[in-house]
Chain A
């Protein structure tokens, strides 16, 4: 049963009935001609949480972000920010700020002028503006680039300036559209940690769009998984990973073995879809004794891939199902060779029916 956002929202409302959500989407839809990018979406985002919109490209997550920012108007439904209806408000009338995917720094202004831009529009006194710009640059640890032009900065620096430019306005909600997408892996991981720390410090609600499931799991308090214009599941990272609501969620978040039919029947007594994470399975010799409370199948190892910290085995069961096993290296290496028959074993509680 695909758990809809609506049904998952109910306990949330009960728990925080006294506080209005930072963002509330009610039956929001968006069509571009015949294409329905977003279909009747219900979603509440709590104040102060780090919330991610996760999904493949074209799943509607960016459109939702753009509707919250006001760059797109929904075809149907209602959007509230802090309890206020902003469905048709212009971007400059909403108390949200955006960090753009390509940063969108003004090329004709210096870094300091970029960060100051929104403060100037708010007609803050000059001294106050200077103080807040300096603070913002301090926060992202780049006070030394204030007088440079964006074209003289590295990608990672631009990313931080974009963040500072949005945060300096102290919005209710900060929207981030794949802000780390253009950075290389190392820088991205470093920025993830910084982003999380900054969010904790400022306490502003962050809405983060990404197609990178690992990034979403690392950063978020809660994640909404988008699939073809709808939300398949909303939950904490561990909810989504351990208890995926749909086949899509199970396969989109990390690797998983999706088991159906005869083998599923054998394991759980029902032919319904079972999701079994590769890291829960161990490879054991056939002659060893099966531990109690475990499930097991015999299989032939077809391929072994060494990835450094882990080794991945591709094994085919007697039912013909391919299972992927991921073992930590160094712990209890089975050292099975290609072509050998082995027993794949895992605690039965990991037989998770989707």
Chain B
């Protein structure tokens, strides 16, 4: 379809405004992390890396980073295993309630985080705590896994739908049992979707705050929670900017890689 010149200009302007609205504030945070003044005054007179050094040596930040990495890694691992198992079951077998299962797996991504958070909070406090499993790192991981799993599930399911089932039949035809067929033929077929889903799951978990707020015990602090708790302290503002910049990168890289991976398969 050809666009008229005025239409082109209008579309470009709107696209520019939208992009600016999203990315200028992010750019501001990143540049401010190098701003020498504590107040973040503009225009920036002196650039410095001292806030990055300060952040690196901040005990609270280090602990929060480590917590975030633990939570995101374990939640991603759970999502990879369970997400691809569900995707495999739904893509390859017919069973009663198949569509319902599909909906129930995807639903948490659409549910408001606060609902998931409150529900999990209640469950842990009223049901699991008496059994010895209170709020803590584990509850945060479970909370993150509920929506991270959707990233893996969606990616893997879409790929499996497009995969040639004849390949699996061919493997069995040549003597491979179910297990070998899955690991030697089926899995290589959806491996890039599996990794892409995992990267998205990691990115999603790494910067999650709402569900985390309700599932973390008072002592458990992930990076986003640390930012939230320190935002109001003026002397911490520059370090908050550094952490925010780190979070931007930590989310951007996996998303970029995941797009590259899924793009490769379309060729």
Tell me the A residues contacting B by CB distance below 8 Å. 69-71, 90-92, 96-98, 100-102, 104-108, 117-118, 121-122, 165-166, 169
Contacts and interface: CB of A to CB of B under 8 A. Distances in A.
Contacts of A121: 174-176, 180
B180 A71 contact: no
Nearest to B177: A92
B167 A104 contact: yes
17 contacts: A91-B172, A92-B174, A92-B175, A92-B177, A96-B173, A102-B164, A104-B166, A104-B167, A104-B170, A106-B170, A106-B171, A107-B189, A108-B188, A108-B189, A121-B176, A166-B174, A169-B175
A108 B167 CA distance: 11
Contacts of B164: 102, 104
B129 interface: no
B41 to A, nearest CB: 56
Given A70-B172, A92-B176, A107-B189, 5 more contacts: A71-B169, A104-B167, A106-B167, A121-B180, A169-B175
Given A108-B188, A121-B180, A102 B166 contact: yes
Interface in B158-197: 164, 166-167, 169-177, 180, 185, 188-189
A98 B174 CA distance: 8
A98 B167 CA distance: 12
A106 B176 contact: no
Contact of A97 (B167, B173, B189): B173
B179 to A, nearest CB: 11
Contacts of A69: 169, 173
Contacts of B166: 100-102, 104
A329 B187 CA distance: 59
A92 B172 contact: yes
A165 B174 contact: yes
Given A106-B185, A108-B188, A100 B176 contact: no
Contact of A118 (B174, B185, B189): B174
Interface in B2-25: none
A117 B171 contact: yes
A101 B170 CA distance: 11
A121 B174 CA distance: 8
A91 B173 contact: yes
B161 to A, nearest CB: 17
Contacts of B185: 106
Contacts of B189: 107-108
Nearest to B181: A92
B25 to A, nearest CB: 43
A177 to B, nearest CB: 9
A105 B164 CA distance: 10
